[in-house]
Structure 1
Amino acid sequence: MRDTRNTKRPEAHTAVPRNSVRQSVDASLKDGAFWALMTGFVDPYIVPFALALGSSALGIGFLRSVPALLGSLLLVFNEKFVAWLGSCRTAVFINVTAQALAAGAGALSAFLPHPYGLLFFIAAVTAYTLSGVMASPPWATLMGEYIPASKRGEFFGFRSRMVGLIYFTASFAASALLSVSGPAQAADGAFSVKGPLTGFVIIFALAGLFRLGSAYYITRMYEPRTRFHLPKAGRAAFRDIFDFGNKRLKAMFFSLFLMLAATFLAAPYFSVYVLKDLHYGYLKYTFLMTIGPLMTYLFMKRWGLLADAFGSARLLRLSFLLIPTVPLLWALNTNFVYLSLVEAFSGIIWGAYLIGVNNFLYEEAGANLRTRANACYGLIVGVAQFGGAMLGGWLYEVLPPWRGSPFIIVLVLSGVLRFAAFFVSARLIKDGRPRKPSSDYKLALFLFGLKPING
């Protein structure tokens, strides 16, 4: 049965007391800081840990795609789970705590013989991913109650910049731990807790503790007693997750699926390429894998101001135009400095994408549909990641080397498919309200601080 609720219900019904807003925003910033510490210790090192445990390239594809797919499918039930609990905050707290336990459990993989250590690690990463995915939609719904529409781009841009700096610092701290622990050592075909595996044990255990800090600050966030923002309870149906009554949202989701599927053809294997084909050490690897996210977060506030002024749809179209250039630039050269510059450029572009998607969802989905809209986005990301990553992993295994690695061919294919996705979707993403006109040249000047936004 079709949901007849208005997708753009007024948000004045859910006014939050000013003191509660300040407390909740402060708690969300501290939650973000602990989240950044956890992800800085975990996310860049999932692939290196798996390689140290004996994973193949196709195994990396499985590790980077199947947990995301399962998480996206579980999102079908997320809206009903939140409604059953009767609280977004409780749903976030449960999943954040579960993610903390999963990160800590990943450290235990180093104590198991091959292949059981790798299998246990995959299970831990799956639990880590599922709980993180499930926490996101109700968290986004809560945040929508604190930040007015005119300030969302600026606030989320500021928060993302703070998170990025902490993430970058944490990633290098984890890299230092791995670098001083020495080369891998194996005993009778099974990895023992020596060399870098000792470092992995430490960083994953610490990550679990950091996430528990997040869980505490989630409890400090205010939730309106009116429960206007909550989804309705009822039977979960797969088709319901796509039911918005909003053509602009559906067009955006279709466009995102095309671009992300082409992106994930190559995205999970940059780590494999850098470590196994280019033979970079952990410090160079960490710099390459974190300079992009750092630039993303540093430019988030600028992108957020642009989104507030010119619309999220404008940012999405711009990012869709530039994202296809990244894999093609990677295919041209293997010089470390060159690749670092490419990754910095990539991070800036993906910042526009992230702010664009975030604001578009807030603009087009009413308060009581935001959990569903974010769940639908997560489902699309998971399916695209699974399809693209599994195909990319297979190609990595069967394609012949070109210029030293089969990954070069995968990069070119990914770039071509991303351009195809741009041409298909460029006309589909539309803004729901009038915006001030401005050329891309003026937007670029403002982005780099060379022109005021109203100049």
Structure 2
Amino acid sequence: MAEEQREEADIQRPRELYAYHATSSFATDISMSYFSYFAVRLGASFELLAWMQSLNNLLPNTLQHFWGWISDRRVHRAFWIIIGSVLGGFALWLLSQAQTPEEVLALLVLYSASLSLVQPTWAALQGDWIPAGRRGRVLSRFHVVGGMAGLIGSLVALWFVYNSGNETADGFRPLFVMAAAATALGGLILVRVPYRDPGDIPDEQQTEQARIAHSNAFQGFVRVQMVYTLLMSLIWPLFAVLLIRVVGATNTQLVIFSVLGAAAEMAFQPLMGRLVDRVGPLQVMFLSRIGFAVLPFVYVLWQDLWVYYALQVVLFGPCFSAFLVSTNTLILDLAPSAERAGYFSYYNTRIGITTFTGALIGGHLAGFLEGHLESTAQAIYWVFVISGAGRLLASFPYLRLTSPRRYPASLRLLDRLAEAQRPWRR
């Protein structure tokens, strides 16, 4: 066992893994961060934005169940990522040519299908090359690399949008073209990654009792996460409308908003990675959920772009980086080595269904309230308040979650709350 641990500690990850993550993050941050702004500039309604956001949540995730199973059993994982990346690049190029919101919706379906091949397979491929005791640090390193590439993408987007000289959808079109090239190129980079058989990777779960404990912990986490993301996704299709039609942000200001978020996320990744490895993912996840619960209230109470800029740095960035590292670490902790893609696809499928439902409800509720209240700002206000209150209440079940894996230290108060029994059960 000690020998296996030393071998795992000495894993040398191929540089191509980091290169792929960098190109993928560059493509995402230079394009998909702006697809809702692009649609609003083309004249999309609340309801159409809801369908765009919902399908973008649902399709990449629900289709993963099949591809995750295939990835765990057939061919080199990188093969599926390459196919998905080429297909995604083609979809992004077509998206750059879209002239109506309806065309954007149709092309998002194609792009989402490509993501379903990539997401669970990429998460599993990362897990194949990360030793158990260093998941937080290594994942944060991946996210720092991705964050830097994404920040570069955001700065490139800022330069193009600023120099486009207009406030129409045309200012965003070059971004989708560059994203298409980066997406396809990123997939081809993985041709050089050697095959690592998941069945040969040392697995911490040896007994049937341990497998059951890990499975039960995973199921509990998924259920709690589904409730939270349902409430969280209510405001997703409305945010572009808030920034453009209520606050009055220009295209350049929209890109600056995204740049600040990307920079803050990257800056906090190393800290969150070390924190997860020290206290465990559940405590860090709970704190990020409380932070996300505060955001909707501030957005609607202080509708000022400078306040939004500050929130990107002091609240959204830390919370989002904590969410990324803690979620992936927890799933890798609980998933058997040979079933990692299946676990990620199971999780993403259920989260996709709930966020599809939440975004659809939020968009249609805002459309109904806009007609009833005759005010776009008031419609957005009430949906944001509902989402914020729901997020706050849905944060506390995270305290009840447990993980069979132990970490060197923990936040004592949160551990006590998580392990406390209700008085009537004592």
TM-score higher than 0.5: yes
Letter of the structure 2 residue corresponding to residue 358 of structure 1: N
- Distance, in Å, in 2 between the alignment partners of 1:226 and 1:299 is 31
Which of 36, 41, 44 matches 1:55?
44
- Distance, in Å, in 1 between the alignment partners of 2:413 and 2:18 is 33
SS in 2 for 1:324: helix
2:72–2:339 CA contact under 8 A, matched in 1: no
> Aligned runs of 1:29-178 on 2, under 5 Å?
29-82=18-71, 85-110=74-99, 117-178=100-161
Change (3 A) 1:31 1:70: same
Say if 2:354 is the partner of 1:393: no
- Distance, in Å, in 1 between the alignment partners of 2:181 and 2:173 is 13
Distance apart, 1:228 and its partner CA? 4.7
Change (3 A) 1:123 1:246: same
1:16–1:145 CA contact under 8 A, matched in 2: no
SS in 2 for 1:62: helix
SS in 2 for 1:426: helix
Change (3 A) 1:378 1:393: same
Letter of the structure 2 residue corresponding to residue 200 of structure 1: F
* 2:323 counterpart residue number: 353
- Distance, in Å, in 2 between the alignment partners of 1:83 and 1:377 is 15
- Distance, in Å, in 1 between the alignment partners of 2:312 and 2:143 is 18
Which of 375, 381, 386 matches 1:408?
381
Distance apart, 1:107 and its partner CA? 1.4
Letter of the structure 1 residue corresponding to residue 35 of structure 2: I
Which of 209, 213, 222 matches 2:181?
209
SS in 2 for 1:63: helix
Change (3 A) 1:414 1:349: same
1:254-300 deviation line (CA, Å, top 9, x unaligned): 11111111110012321221011111111211222342233222211
1:11–1:367 CA contact under 8 A, matched in 2: no
Letter of the structure 2 residue corresponding to residue 412 of structure 1: V
* 1:333 counterpart residue number: 302
Change (3 A) 1:371 1:225: closer
TM-score (normalizing by structure 1) = 0.81
- Distance, in Å, in 2 between the alignment partners of 1:258 and 1:154 is 28
Distance apart, 1:383 and its partner CA? 1.1
Letter of the structure 2 residue corresponding to residue 419 of structure 1: L
SS in 1 for 2:166: coil
Letter of the structure 1 residue corresponding to residue 158 of structure 2: S
Which of 200, 223, 233 matches 2:172?
200
Say if 2:294 is the partner of 1:305: no
Change (3 A) 1:356 1:227: same
- Distance, in Å, in 2 between the alignment partners of 1:131 and 1:11 is 40
- Distance, in Å, in 1 between the alignment partners of 2:411 and 2:190 is 41
* 2:258 counterpart residue number: 289
| Range 412-421 or range 401-410, more displaced | 401-410
Letter of the structure 2 residue corresponding to residue 317 of structure 1: F
* 2:196 counterpart residue number: 224
1:156–1:301 CA contact under 8 A, matched in 2: no
2:72–2:342 CA contact under 8 A, matched in 1: no
- Distance, in Å, in 1 between the alignment partners of 2:172 and 2:42 is 11
* 2:204 counterpart residue number: none
1:266–1:410 CA contact under 8 A, matched in 2: yes
Change (3 A) 1:61 1:218: same
Unaligned 5+ segments in structure 2 are: 202-211, 415-426
- Distance, in Å, in 2 between the alignment partners of 1:268 and 1:161 is 27
- Distance, in Å, in 2 between the alignment partners of 1:168 and 1:441 is 36
2:120–2:341 CA contact under 8 A, matched in 1: yes
* 1:260 counterpart residue number: 229
- Distance, in Å, in 2 between the alignment partners of 1:343 and 1:17 is 35
Change (3 A) 1:138 1:223: same
Distance apart, 1:90 and its partner CA? 0.9
1:367-398 deviation line (CA, Å, top 9, x unaligned): 11211110012112211211111111012112
Change (3 A) 1:226 1:101: same
2:285–2:323 CA contact under 8 A, matched in 1: yes
1:95–1:132 CA contact under 8 A, matched in 2: yes
Change (3 A) 1:37 1:279: same
* 1:179 counterpart residue number: 162
Change (3 A) 1:438 1:402: farther
- Distance, in Å, in 2 between the alignment partners of 1:264 and 1:337 is 24
Which of 233, 240, 247 matches 1:278?
247
- Distance, in Å, in 1 between the alignment partners of 2:110 and 2:131 is 34
Higher normalized helix content (fraction of residues): 2
The Cα RMSD (Å) is 2.8
Distance apart, 1:148 and its partner CA? 1.0
Say if 2:337 is the partner of 1:367: yes
Among all aligned residue pairs of Structure 1 and Structure 2, give the percentage whose two residues are the same amino acid.
19
1:190-246 deviation line (CA, Å, top 9, x unaligned): xxxxx642x3332211111111221121112121257557xxxxxxxxxxxxx9971
Letter of the structure 1 residue corresponding to residue 184 of structure 2: L
Distance apart, 1:347 and its partner CA? 1.9
2:128–2:198 CA contact under 8 A, matched in 1: no
- Distance, in Å, in 1 between the alignment partners of 2:59 and 2:290 is 30
| Range 403-412 or range 268-277, more displaced | 403-412
Letter of the structure 1 residue corresponding to residue 26 of structure 2: L
- Distance, in Å, in 2 between the alignment partners of 1:53 and 1:10 is 60
* 2:238 counterpart residue number: 269
- Distance, in Å, in 2 between the alignment partners of 1:169 and 1:227 is 38
Distance apart, 1:438 and its partner CA? 4.7
Unaligned 5+ segments in structure 1 are: 1-8, 111-116, 185-194, 230-242, 443-455
Change (3 A) 1:404 1:268: closer
